[in-house]
Structure 1
Amino acid sequence: MIAPPNADPNTLAPTTPSQASSSSSPASKTSIESSSDSSPACLYAIRPTPYGGRGAFANKRIPKGTVVLDCEAPYASVICRKFKKEVCAWCFAWCFESGDGTRRKGSWSVRLSVRGEAGKEKERAWTPWFCSEGCRDLWKTLLNYRTTKVKAKSKPANTQKTTLNHPLTHLDSWTAKANMADVTGESVDWWWTLAETTTSRGNMKKPGKIMDILEAWNEVSGGGTEELLTEYEADCARFVLDGLVRQALETSEGGDTATKTAGRWPDLLELQDNELQHVKSRPYMLSCFIRVYLFLKYVVLTARPSRREIGECEGHLARDHGNVFGIWEKGSDDEDGEMLGWGMYVFGSYFNHDCTPTLKKMQHGRSLHFTTTRDIEEGEELCINYIDVSKGNGVVKRNEEVSKGWFFVCGCARCERERKELAVAE
């Protein structure tokens, strides 16, 4: 897994592992049986860890090579914008990969069609790409896809710069000056409350005002781009929208559309909320999150009236960092290859980090499997690795990575042993 680089939001790559061991949310003892009856739940349970938060502990002896969890699909996922033509939206197959090692063509050819004004099937720029008609049909079945004609209402071109002066347009200035002490739960909540009240029905009679705020925000920030969202923000918006669609289907159809190991909305809310730690480390991410919320609010309001509250959008964003896994090119189990996107595998997020992991994760299409790397004794914690834990990556470098990416210092047996060895050598 990779840690997010210390970069601006235009180049930021998302974090891809499960939640960090020392930053897991505290909770009473929770068994995995209560969440997923299709996984081999009797093998382990979710319990409080000695170092804080929660983890997965073996209920009995587990032999090497046992699949302890098979997540059939992510709760929400997104393919990075630059790969959207090359990666199947259903099975995540990359068009440049093939079993015989030969290079394939540069994009998939199967698209999702929608009916145009004349009733003819057309392909739109926003429709996803698929490696086969079979994957396209599965995608449509999962989402209970129904073709809907939406008449776009064009907005008259405005050649003059907006003079809108809204408090949200100054958020970038605040985050640029903010330090760790300035970023508190109260300050983060204040900005979210401002975003919520700004876009409430009483204050936002015309959804187009949301776009005015975003455009003014760009001007104040001096981004020098005509795009309302950065590439990373657009990827985040698609990721959240994917989860909101699944949540809406759960509500309307009693949860029948959700695969058992993908989890449901209450399962997602059980994950660690990393927002405050994330924003403390990178204050500019608060701007990113709120811009994504404003954009999605505009999309929802212009599509049809909605009663969705800010908490659902924020709920996805707050659990994105530290709880998602990278979608990697196949054959790159060590994750040295290309990261094509990311997905939230809810139940896999309970496996904490250890520099000598007891589990190995394997991606198979949409699914993610977790297999034991050795015999596990009863009561032993099941862990994966978030970073490169090869022999060449020493304790200092490893802890720099986990501290920067997941806000904790690793206290595993290997790290403790190597720290003592360094102390003796000095």
Structure 2
Amino acid sequence: MQTLAVGSSSPFFEIRHTPHSGRAIFATRAIPADTLVWRSDDLTLSVLLRAYRREVCGQCFGYEHGHDLNIRNQTVGFAFCNEECQNKWKEWHGDIGVQAWTAVEKLVKGRSKEDNEMVDADLPRPKSKEIIAQWESVATQAALIRVARQGERAVNNGAVEANDGVAATKQHRKALQKALQQLLSPDVMCFCVCGILWKYAKPAEWDRLLALAVDTTPYPDAYDLRAHTRTYLHLLAILPLALLPIVTAETLFLLSSRDSHNAFGIRSLEDDGSEFFGYGCWPAASYFNHSCGPTIEKRRVGRTWEFRVGRDVGVGKGEELSITYLSNEERKWNRGQRVALLKKNWGFDCACARCEGL
């Protein structure tokens, strides 16, 4: 499908800049209720929470009401609802992707379930200076790990020294082992690996992600920030060598900064979304702004989002087509609860017609 961009149009809408909420989608004609106005199949990265990996298909996100799926690929750590989904997953990821997930699963399975950092409640969101400082604090160790890994390449090629002319020493290997001993954050690792593999497989589409709204402080607390920098070192230590040029602090921060305000939750479809399995980023779907009284109803169909008009849109040109960022249950909350949640999760003060009593 064609990627949405400013100036793009369809039979139903166009994208314009707004003075209050960046880019937004506006109707260009009257639209009857239940009309399908957009289908977004451009999933760039997704996180399937590890707690649900046995119950939710790694390809289509199908859910069997809490029952374990029949096809479990324990090597890569995902389960599938049928052979077709498993084959599609392998085809998209290719040999490098399978190697990457195999390395991740080997590392995670080798650690205890209790291998996690305790999180204090209501930690403040790290500011830009703190984020920069935290990433800089791991730069030296990351550089040492790169040399150690390049040494692997040199050994594999029958060479004596690493490609950059620096021989891997005990110091380099110690830095790698130290990284592997640090606490693991499997769901953060899933997020980072998905983004890295997407950039590796679809380099020409990287600009789609960069065009999304930026959150310069995307980490909700100091724990999450540390989890990302630790994961950076983990991935440098274990991922296939072909991926290392992409495994950079800049890449991982960019993934977080774009995903933060543009992710869609992946929920169960059979029970009004009561089960939250993870989240994903579909860039073309991110141009729909939020309203607590949306004109558009979104529905996930496998790996695709469909957007249908929830009510008749009038003849007058220019009505904004909006979705809600709230779950079905959250939509029933009072104004104060909704505003507080939206501010916490997406960083804006909702001023939609419903919240303003219009």
Same fold by TM-score greater than 0.5: yes
Quickly say closer, same or farther: Cα 1:96–1:380, change in 2 above 3 A.
same
**Equivalent residues in 2 for 1:219-258, closer than 5 Å:** 228-229=183-184, 233-251=185-203
Cα contact 1:197–1:203 (8 A) shared by 2: no
For structure 2, the 5+ residue unaligned runs are: 108-117, 149-171
1:399 to partner: Cα distance: 1.0
State the partner residue of 1:361. Answer: 298
In the alignment, structure 1 residue 134 sits paired with structure 2 residue 84: yes
Equivalence for 2:154 = none
Change (3 A) 1:361 1:306: same
Aligned pair partner of 1:307 in 238, 245, 252: 245
1:185 aligned to which of 128, 138, 141:
128
**Cα shift at 1:240:** 2.1
Closer, same or farther in 2 for the Cα pair 1:371/1:148, shift >3 Å?
closer
- Cα distance, 1:248–1:92 mapped onto 2, change above 3 Å: same
Unpaired segments ≥5 residues, structure 1? 1-28, 34-39, 98-105, 113-122, 156-171, 219-227, 256-263, 419-426
Q: Which has the higher contact order (CA 8 A, sep 6+)?
A: 1
What do the CA deviations read for 1:332-367 (whole angstroms, capped 9, x no partner)? 34x3x1111211111112211111101111111111
Per the alignment, do residues 202 and 128 of structure 1 end up closer, same or farther by CA in structure 2, a change over 3 Å counting?
closer
Matched, 1:322 2:261: yes
User: Does 1:56 pair with 2:56?
Assistant: no
- After TM superposition, give the deviation of residue 304 of structure 1 in Å: 5.0
Report % sequence identity. Answer: 28
Distance change (3 Å), C-alpha of 1:339 and 1:208: farther
Please say if residues 26 and 318 of structure 2, whose CA atoms lie closer than 8 Å, have aligned partners that are also in contact.
yes
Which residue is 2:59 aligned to?
Answer: 90
1:218-297 paired onto structure 2 within 5 Å: 228-229=183-184, 233-251=185-203, 264-276=205-217, 278-279=218-219, 282-297=221-236
| Counterpart Cα distance in 1 of 2:47 and 2:265 | 10
Once the two structures are TM-superposed, the CA of residue 73 in structure 1 deviates from its matched residue by 4.9
TM-score of the superposed pair, with normalisation by structure 2:
0.76
* TM-aligned CA distance change 1:394 to 1:136, over 3 Å: same
Distance verdict in 2 for CA 1:201–1:338, change over 3 Å: same
Shift of 1:408: 1.5
Deviation, 1:79, is 1.5
Distance 1:417 1:44 in 2: 26
Q: Which residue of 1 aligns with 2:69?
A: 108
What's the CA shift string for 1:158-212, capped at 9, x where partnerless? xxxxxxxxxxxxxx99x999967xx442332232233334312598543651441
Question: What is the CA RMSD across the aligned residues, in angstroms?
Answer: 3.5
Structure 2 match to 1:167: none
Q: Contact 1:358/1:383 (CA < 8 Å) preserved in 2?
A: yes
Give matches, 1:73-88, under 5 Å. 73-88=42-57
Q: In the alignment, what sits opposite 2:153?
A: none
Report if aligned partners of 1:214, 1:291 keep a CA contact under 8 Å in 2: no
**Aligned mates of 1:59, 1:400 — CA distance in 2:** 33
In the alignment, which residue of structure 1 is the partner of 2:115? none
Number of equivalences: 315
CA contact (8 A) 1:30 1:47 kept: no
TM-score w.r.t. length of structure 1: 0.65
